[in-house]
Homo-oligomer: A and B are copies of this chain.
Amino acid sequence: MARTTPTGGPKKGSVTLALVAQRAGVSVQTVSNALNSPGLLAPRTLKRVQEAISELDYRPHQAARSLRTRSSRLIGYGIQPQPNGLSTPVLDDFLHALSDSADKAGYRVLLFAAPVGADDEADRYDELLREHSVDAFVLSGTYRGDRRPGWLHKRGIPFVAFGRSWSARDTGDWVDVDGAHGTAAAVDHLVAAGHRQIAFLGWPRGSGVGDDRAQGWREAMRRHELPVRDLRVSSLNDVDAARDAVGRILAKATAVVAASDTLALGCYRALRDSGRSPGQDVAVVGFDDSPAAGLLSPSLSSVRQPLEEVGRACTRQLMSRINDPQADPEHVLLTPELIVRESSAAVLPH
């Protein structure tokens, strides 16, 4: 079917195991074994079968396999609808990375719409599981009180979360990026450039991710024996809100570490509003290295999450979890990288 040469192609629709078997002069089961447990075959037979397979350009039919084995080589990924046109570049990049590495492992990613915390949330997962025999799920954007990990774990369904399970009992595998390490690295970098009054602009307490990033800043400050009093402010993840919030600390800080690039942008605004210039008068470091960071003027230093690695780690964990559903949960914590740009490049006079 791949080559529609009018000359020799098979007339009927599809190339099946039976056809390959006939061509190779063996039984269907032998061909199946050639694919799934090649070790069982005598070398000569194996070679003959493999030749027949490639000559006919045979492709196993997943539906048939899936019907028998109840596994589909599919990984479910619920994309949550954006609140209001707000896109989440980090998760999209992650999805790319995930899909790439899953594809290399012979798996495909199946998208479905997952309502954020709806009552029938579990139903969507159940549906995918039973209709499509999905082998595993990848969760992203887990939050405190997220019921999905528990639900999946209880049922013994393989899954990996991108993001620690911040809930009380941590159950199931996850891969995450060490946000605290990222903000700490930012502090170290700023200290090395001569800063001593380094503020943190974060999100309201209670969002695992945000608290983690705040924690990194706090500990790094303590390590450098620098005060943190009155140097922390919180704001929703919105440029204008951040601009308003950051005002009061810009008087006493020479540098700001922000929990996101959006917050950092708010910082830019606040500085410009007060006639000062980001990067020159006050250093700013963001988080996530969103596409915009490199484009800004001055370009924004930011902490980049190693999303390709996260994707690979997720795939790796899924594979081993699929092979051994009973194994103990594994956790992978990856280290982000500080990208230094103009906004924090200036060195303070000593």
Contact = CB atoms under 8 A, between A and B. Distances in A.
A87 B93 contact: yes
- Oligomer copy total: 2
B79 A131 contact: no
Contacts of A292: 290-292, 295-296
Interface in A79-102: 79, 81-82, 86-87, 89, 92-93, 95-96, 99-100
Contact of A126 (B2, B82, B100, B239): B2
Interface residues of A, number: 56
A62 interface: yes
Interface of A: 1-2, 4, 14, 59-64, 66-67, 72, 74, 79, 81-82, 86-87, 89, 92-93, 95-96, 99-100, 103-104, 108-113, 122-123, 126-127, 130-133, 155, 239, 262, 265, 268-269, 272, 290-292, 294-297
B110 A109 contact: yes
A60 B123 CA distance: 14
Contacts of A99: 79, 111-113
A253 B113 CA distance: 47
Contact of A112 (B108, B265, B296): B108
A291 B262 CA distance: 10
A295 B131 contact: no
Contacts of A86: 291
* Residue with the greatest number of chain B CB neighbours at <10 A, chosen from A2, A123, A272, A294: A2
B82 A96 contact: yes
Contacts of A111: 95, 99, 103, 108-111
A269 B298 CA distance: 9
A112 B99 CA distance: 7
Contacts of A109: 110-111
A131 B67 contact: no
B122 A2 contact: yes
Given A79-B96, A79-B99, 13 more contacts: A2-B122, A2-B123, A59-B131, A62-B131, A62-B132, A81-B100, A87-B96, A89-B92, A99-B111, A100-B113, A290-B292, A292-B295, A296-B296
Nearest to A266: B295
A12 to B, nearest CB: 13
Nearest to A294: B239
26 contacts: A62-B63, A62-B131, A63-B63, A63-B66, A63-B133, A67-B67, A79-B96, A79-B99, A81-B96, A81-B100, A82-B96, A87-B89, A87-B291, A89-B92, A89-B291, A92-B92, A92-B95, A99-B113, A100-B113, A103-B111, A104-B113, A109-B110, A109-B111, A111-B111, A291-B291, A296-B296
Nearest to A64: B67
Contacts of A113: 99-100, 103-104
Contacts of A1: 126, 130
Interchain residue pairs A-B with the least CB separation, the first 3: A292-B292, A63-B66, A92-B92
Contact of A61 (B64, B67, B96, B122): B67
A67 B63 contact: yes
